[in-house]
Amino acid sequence: MRALLDSERMAKLDRYTIDEVGLPGPVLMENAGRGVVEAIRARFAPLLGRGPTLVVCGTGNNGGDGYVIARCLMNEGHRVRTLLCGTVGKVSGDARVHLDAYLASGGEVEEVGDGNVDKACAMAAQSVLIVDALFGTGLKREVTGVFARLIEAMDETIAPVVAVDLPSGLCADTGSILGCAAHAQLTVTFGFAKKGHHLRPGASLCGEVVVVDIGIPKGLEARVSPDMYLVEAIDYHGSFMRSSESHKGNFGHLLVLAGGRGKMGAATLAALASRRAGAGLVTMAFPGGLMSEARLPVEAMTAPLGTGERWLHEHLTLLQPLLEKVDAIAIGPGMGTDDEAG
């Protein structure tokens, strides 16, 4: 399983790596930018020689990653155009280190404001690849004005969009869209995937999500107590291997309370999912009057409750003997939301 972090936890890991491990912020930013460039090379190398790549930067640290990307692509001989949504004077800290390095290397930055946003949008339409480095994990407010115009321009072009850390306008913590958000074909994030990469609607905006190592020590995430994890197929590898001496009783007994009038399909799906998840024994409990509607897998046991077609409070008494025998309970699919079911 991989930990999914929110913006606050990620900021704490960055700060620990800088203050306690001793890796300076500009080094982490350099590692991040180079990680994005490597991902671009792996997926979009043929595009780089066909026309300009547009790097759209904000004034914060996400923009700092963008300047690293622009410098690296430029040093490799690719055509790069760089937009700064704001003014050079507003760029500070680690981002300013890399903006200055980009400029000193011969790069150029065009500041974008209300007066020339149309020109900037036209540049997006003329690009073969767009790097979205406007906003990162720290965004909390809705995107408006010039920023929104640039995001809309990125979405209107046919050029693939590579998002730096996460698509601009996406909330890293909830996956919600803050006014408007970019649609990326590739999102390159740093250290750990964020919750917003895998929560809807954000998950549909990120495209392929690649996590690159920027120098945060392995296992450090335990210090921030992650509360969300991504479970992948590889996490189940070997989990269902069973010895020839085992039997169904060795793999748990699950009680599923599901179904209702016209909703026994939900009970059927719950039973199938229970077996697919690896339960050795599955008992399906539902109102007894719906027995004729049940289409349960043949290996599932049944516990019809009473003779009616609705869930009733009195069923709790009938369930008590079962509750003492099972290892886990799944409850809800198709039960309805009336007071008795509640």
DSSP structure string for 60-120: SHHHHHHHHHHHHHHHTT--EEEEEES-GGG--HHHHHHHHHHHHTT---EEE-TTTHHHH
Beta bridge partners of 82: 55
Which of 166, 155, 248 minimizes the C-alpha distance to 206?
Answer: 166
pLDDT bucket at 90, cuts 50 / 70 / 90: very high
pLDDT bucket at 239, cuts 50 / 70 / 90: low
Q: Is the pLDDT of residue 278 over 90?
A: no
pLDDT bucket at 285, cuts 50 / 70 / 90: very high
Give the whole-number percent of the chain exceeding pLDDT 70. 99
Q: ∠270-276-278 over CA atoms, to 5°?
A: 110
pLDDT at 13 (0 to 100): 97
Q: Report pLDDT digits (tens) over 38-69.
A: 999 999 999 999 999 999 999 999 999 999 99
pLDDT at 203 (0 to 100): 97
pLDDT at 304 (0 to 100): 93
pTM recorded for the entire structure:
0.80
Beta strands in the chain (DSSP E): 2-3, 53-57, 80-85, 110-112, 129-133, 161-164, 186-190, 208-212, 229-230, 253-257, 281-287, 301-305, 328-331
What is residue 185's three-state secondary structure?
coil
Q: Is the pLDDT of residue 324 over 70?
A: yes
Q: How far apart are CA 65 and CA 319, in angstroms?
A: 58
pLDDT at 293 (0 to 100): 85
pLDDT bucket at 277, cuts 50 / 70 / 90: confident
Q: Report pLDDT digits (tens) over 114-149.
A: 999 999 999 999 999 999 999 999 999 999 999 999
Q: Are 52 and 58 in contact (CB under 8 A)?
A: no
Q: Report pLDDT digits (tens) over 261-275.
A: 999 999 999 999 998
Report the mean per-residue pLDDT for the chain: 95
Q: Is the pLDDT of residue 92 over 70?
A: yes
pLDDT at 240 (0 to 100): 66
